Amino acid sequence: MFDKFDHYIQLLQELNVRLAKAVDTHTHADHITALGALRDRTHCVTVMGEKSGADVVSMRVSDGERIDIPGVALEVIYTPGHTDDSYSFLMEDRVFTGDTLLIRGTGRTDFENGDPRAQYESLFGRLLKLPDWTMVYPAHDYKGDTVSTIGEERAYNPRLQVKSIDEYVDLMNCLHLPNPKMMDVAVPANRHIGLHQEEIAKRGWALMAEDAMRLVGQPSIELIDLREAHERKAQGVIPGSIHMPYDELEENIREGGLLHELVAATGKRIVFYCAFGERSAMAVQAAQDAGLSSACHIQGGVDAWKKAKGKVVR
Ligand SMILES: [Fe+2]
């Protein structure tokens, strides 16, 4: 959450780790997300589920996909009900459940397209199918608890002691909770978290998809795909592009790096692209800072390219 931004940054420094990806489980109604601020400070990749109402995140994932970070993998489980964009993330012996499964509770289902029936399925059909020893880390706990287990929640979570889906729906529909204080501010703020790509455009470092279509294939252009292998497979690839994942950008653009040397040797213009233009916008800034003054990107990424009827191959 945004209130804890300074704490997150301090922890990153203290633990001496680089933030590669920041993942939100859903669009929060009770606080403002730190996702955008973390991206702006650390240039991390922002991740949410494909059903997220956020305007732009760097990467959208769907049920069954994996989120890879060197040494770590999260399996994506779509768990709608609290909101229609609620996801849980399984990492070996632990699951991050957002507000779907809380410690001795479950997330309310009465706003943001919440649905108690869907939540019952997410709980009983997905999360409670995990082994009993799986540790449960919810998005928050107002009592101060931080971790539980699937077995513990199955036994002692009062919301899970129902005999049928109808009993669960009745239970959730009778809660009559007041709306969160922050809701009218938090929900719109959490939907507008995308990087301001127009700032990059103002500096002349952006191509609209239609302009990019005219340039692609010309020998003076080197098109660089910053996405990960699974995104390329799922979304298709712009013909003639080189794959260079965002994670490897820094080593490629610095002096002696592949891209740096390629530009030095050929004078080619570098055109970055990614899924929605956010990673490529950050890449343009980094490349410009590294002295690659011809670097630009396709604004809006493959998403905009496809909307403009640009060709992709699979
Ligand atoms: Fe929530």
| 164, part of any domain | yes
Ligand 1 midpoint to CA 301 (Å): 29
Q: Which residue has the tokens 């795909």?
A: 225
Ligand 1 midpoint to CA 180 (Å): 10
Following DSSP, what letter does each residue of 32-101 receive, concatenated?
--SHHHHHHHH-PEEEEETT---S--SEEE-TT-EEEETTEEEEEEE--SSSTT-EEEEETTEEEEETTE
Q: Are 147 and 270 in a shared domain?
A: no
Could you read off the pLDDT tens digit of each residue along the chain, which spans 314 residues? 899 999 999 999 999 999 999 999 999 998 999 999 999 999 999 999 999 999 999 999 999 999 999 889 999 999 999 999 999 999 999 999 999 999 999 999 998 899 999 999 999 999 999 999 999 999 988 889 999 999 999 999 999 999 999 999 999 999 999 988 888 999 999 999 999 899 999 999 999 999 999 998 899 999 999 999 999 999 999 999 999 999 999 999 999 999 999 999 999 999 999 999 999 999 999 999 999 999 999 999 999 999 999 999 99
Ligand 1 midpoint to CA 31 (Å): 9
Element (H, E) at 133: none
CATH number at residue 16: 3.60.15.10
Ligand 1 midpoint to CA 107 (Å): 7
Ligand 1 midpoint to CA 109 (Å): 9
Ligand 1 midpoint to CA 160 (Å): 18
| 60, part of any domain | yes
| Domain end call among 143, 158, 191 | 191
| 313, part of any domain | no
Q: Are 214 and 186 in a shared domain?
A: no
| 245, part of any domain | yes
Q: Are 151 and 37 in a shared domain?
A: yes
Ligand 1 midpoint to CA 88 (Å): 12
Question: 32 and 189 in contact (C-beta within 8 Å)?
Answer: yes
Q: Are 140 and 237 in a shared domain?
A: no
Q: Are 130 and 176 in a shared domain?
A: yes
Expressed as residue numbers, the domain containing 238 is 197-307
Ligand 1 midpoint to CA 167 (Å): 22
Count Cβ atoms below 10 Å from residue 109 Cβ, excluding itself: 26
Q: Are 177 and 248 in a shared domain?
A: no
Instruction: Tell me how far apart the alpha carbons of residues 217 and 201 are, in angstroms, rounded to a whole number.
Output: 22
For residue 112, the model assigns a pLDDT of 87
Q: Which residue has the tokens 């994506």?
A: 76
- Please list the helix, strand and coil fractions of the chain in percent, rounded to the nearest 5, in that order: 40, 20, 40
Q: Is 189 helix (H, G, I), strand (E, B) or coil?
A: helix
Q: Are 212 and 153 in a shared domain?
A: no
How much is the pTM? Answer: 0.94
Q: Tell me the helices (H) and strands (E) count for the chain, helix number first.
A: 13, 16
Question: 244 and 271 in contact (C-beta within 8 Å)?
Answer: no
Question: 280 and 296 in contact (C-beta within 8 Å)?
Answer: no
Q: Which residue has the tokens 């945004």?
A: 2
Give, as residue ranges, everything with CB less than 5 Å from ion ligand 1: 28, 99
| 314, part of any domain | no
Q: Are 240 and 178 in a shared domain?
A: no
| 107, part of any domain | yes
Q: Are 208 and 182 in a shared domain?
A: no
Ligand 1 midpoint to CA 99 (Å): 5
| Domain end call among 137, 158, 191 | 191
Following DSSP, what letter does each residue of 216-271 receive, concatenated?
TT-TTEEEEE-S-HHHHHHH-B-TTPEE--GGGHHHHHSTTSHHHHHHHHH-PEEE
Ligand 1 midpoint to CA 164 (Å): 24
Ligand 1 midpoint to CA 81 (Å): 10
| 266, part of any domain | yes
- Considering its fold, how many domains does the chain have in total? 2
Q: Is 132 helix (H, G, I), strand (E, B) or coil?
A: coil
Ligand 1 midpoint to CA 252 (Å): 39
Ligand 1 midpoint to CA 192 (Å): 17
For residue 80, the model assigns a pLDDT of 98
| Domain end call among 175, 191, 207 | 191
Integer-rounded Cα Rg, in Å, for the chain is 22
Instruction: Tell me how far apart the alpha carbons of residues 194 and 285 are, in angstroms, rounded to a whole number.
Output: 16
| 312, part of any domain | no
CATH number at residue 287: 3.40.250.10
Ligand 1 midpoint to CA 27 (Å): 7
For residue 181, the model assigns a pLDDT of 86
Q: Are 231 and 285 in a shared domain?
A: yes
Ligand 1 midpoint to CA 82 (Å): 7
Ligand 1 midpoint to CA 157 (Å): 18
Instruction: Tell me how far apart the alpha carbons of residues 79 and 286 are, in angstroms, rounded to a whole number.
Output: 36
Ligand 1 midpoint to CA 108 (Å): 8
Q: Are 25 and 121 in a shared domain?
A: yes
Amino acid identity at 206: A
For residue 1, the model assigns a pLDDT of 87
Q: Are 287 and 164 in a shared domain?
A: no
